Amino acid sequence: MILLTRLCDLFLSFSRIGLTAFGGGYAMIPLLRTEFIVARQWLTLGEFLDIIAIAEMTPGPVAINAATYIGYKVAGVPGAAAATLGVITPSVVLILIIAGLFQHYRSSPLVRAVISGIRPAVIALIFSAVLVMGRPVLVDFRAFFISLAAFLLLITGKMRPLPVIGLSALLGLLLY
């Protein structure tokens, strides 16, 4: 009975987050933190940061990977399934509805105005995720150096994300 309650909680929590987190996985990070660290206390900040790091490194969307890992941490394989289904269900339903409507109304000034208003909010959510994850991680010069180097390599287009992650891991081994 407790497992079933936990599975329902996971599904509903991730469905609510999936329904309200415009902007994808990075915009979802502050919502995940609030739900699973602050409100439910199912994860510690360290566990959460590890889960986000793993979700970043594995193939697939960050939001789905994070949901799967958090669900697994909370309730094993059934929890992973419940969380993953919870996070994708709102998106699938909404995108089917919106795709049909957007084709018909995409030239509407009202639709363009709504989309223009949502974009800055998405940037704010992503920046919030950077701050939430950066504070406990950037604790010394070495961590700041690795982060800055990775950032510069990514924004200049000098390296793709996977080699940057590998290089950062190597630097972590060497510097720590």
Q: Please, is 107 exposed, middle or buried when counting C-beta atoms within 10 Å of its C-beta (0-12, 13-18, 19+)? A: exposed
pTM: 0.62
pLDDT in tens, 31-87: 899 999 999 999 999 999 999 889 888 888 888 999 999 999 999 999 999 999 999
The stretch 82-97 carries a mean pLDDT of: 92
Provide, rounded to the nearest whole percent, the portion of the chain with pLDDT above 90: 56
**In 3-state terms, what secondary structure has residue 137?**
helix
- Span of 16-25, 41-50, 73-82, 145-154 with lowest mean pLDDT: 16-25
